[in-house]
Amino acid sequence: MCAHCNQVIRGPFLVALGKSWHPEEFNCAHCKTSMAYIGFVEEKGALYCEGCYEKFFAPECARCQRKILGEVINALKQTWHVSCFVCVACHKPIRNNVFHLEDGDPYCETDYYALFGTMCYGCEFPIEAGDRFLEALGHTWHDTCFVCSVCCESLEGQTFFSKKDKPLCKKHAHSVNI
């Protein structure tokens, strides 16, 4: 049965969107051009040739202002071509990966932390917004990473000592060669 006219199909037919069609009835909803041998797009329950889709429905890219016909990136309340939504530093497409903003510009996670991030001296992972941290021995630490180099007891809020830039609790300050 043809999805357009509901008549039995005898002879050539198309299959699209899980339905069968007479080739002469598989047409753009707007311009009525046959889409038997060209690309088409389903929009709001109707089928359109690529030209009509571009003209009436395709979103505009926030960077280049051209119509987006392929994959769309939705970010920062705007639409983008994949090749237009890029890291300001490395110029690689961000795609659907994590990104960070600095002064309104998107940065991939790697470049953001390399340029603007603070790394924990204990674990060498970034200290992110909302993380508890402290500064000691001239470095920045996650609160859970500032521990005695010998027994791993937390030194946050405690008296501590250091040898060769390593924090030590009172118990191990004089008894260990580091």
Structural domains in the chain, sorted by start: 14-56 (2.10.110.10), 72-116 (2.10.110.10), 118-168 (2.10.110.10)
Q: What is the pLDDT of residues 86-120, one digit of tens each?
A: 999 999 999 999 999 999 999 999 999 889 888 99
Average pLDDT score, the chain: 92
Q: What pLDDT is attached to residue 174?
A: 81
Q: What pLDDT is attached to residue 173?
A: 86
Transcribe the chain into DSSP letters. -BTTT-PPP-S--EEETTEEE-GGG-B-TTT--B-SSS-EEEETTEEEEHHHHHHHTPPBPTTT-PBP-S-EEEETTEEEETTTSB-TTT--B-TTS-EEEETTEEEEHHHHHHHH-EE-TTT-SEE-TT--EEEETTEEEETTT-B-TTT--B-TTS--EEETTEEE-TTTTTT---
- Rounded CA gap, 131 and 2, in Å? 60
Q: What pLDDT is attached to residue 117?
A: 85
